[in-house]
């Protein structure tokens, strides 16, 4: 990111116009405009005045932020199989428990089930991407086929079950994470 683009971004985050930033930093609106378009470069003193007006300092402004990973591939996925219940869970986003959502793929082999998820504060969404299964919400059975989905508060016990002879896959997203 160029200096001008970064200054403009900070200015917009604060809801300031170029004129307001110019007044706060004792610079001209024209200079701010040219700087934001990277048509000019500020002196060290001018940049320091600008950054003070934007509520930051040189160290923070030029500090490299670690890139947050936003795209994940199969190499990133983590899986766990439970042969006792004939199913597996694949976490699509590693360490997603620190995020506000946790997307997983539940694979239910024939006669497979998930554990029963206990009530907690949150919401969840599931989409059947392959096969058929049942979801039990507070013991009430709901049949799901490929293309069906569910969306529910997590204040009730829930579990999935596959009584068919083929594999069922469900994308299941909990917020907050609880898998």
pLDDT digits (tens, 9 = 90+) for 140-155: 999 999 999 999 999 9
pLDDT of residue 1: 55
- What dotted CATH number matches 3-62? 1.10.260.40
| This prediction's pTM | 0.64
Q: Any alpha helices (H) in 63-156, and if so which ranges?
A: none
CA-to-CA distance for 20 and 10, rounded, in angstroms?
A: 13
Looking at the predicted structure, is the pLDDT value of residue 89 above 90? yes
Which fold is adopted by the domain 74-175?
A: Jelly Rolls (2.60.120)
């Amino acid at each position: 990111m160029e200096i001008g683009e970064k200054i403009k971004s900070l200015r917009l985050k604060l809801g300031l116009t170029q004129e307001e930033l110019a007044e706060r930093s004792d610079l001209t609106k024209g200079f701010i405009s040219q700087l934001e378009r990277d048509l000019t470069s500020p002196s060290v003193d001018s940049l320091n005045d600008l950054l003070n007006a934007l509520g930051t300092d040189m160290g923070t402004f030029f500090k490299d932020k670690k890139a947050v990973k936003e795209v994940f591939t199969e190499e990133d996925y983590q899986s766990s199989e439970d042969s006792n219940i004939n199913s597996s869970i694949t976490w699509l986003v590693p360490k997603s428990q620190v995020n506000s959502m946790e997307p997983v793929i539940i694979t239910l082999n024939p006669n497979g089930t998930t554990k029963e998820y206990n009530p907690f504060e949150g919401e969840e969404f599931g989409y059947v991407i392959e096969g058929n299964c049942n979801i039990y919400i507070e013991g009430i059975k709901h049949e799901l086929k490929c293309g069906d989905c569910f969306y529910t508060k997590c204040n009730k016990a829930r579990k999935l079950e596959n009584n068919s002879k083929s594999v069922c896959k469900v994308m299941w997203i909990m917020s907050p994470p609880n898998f």
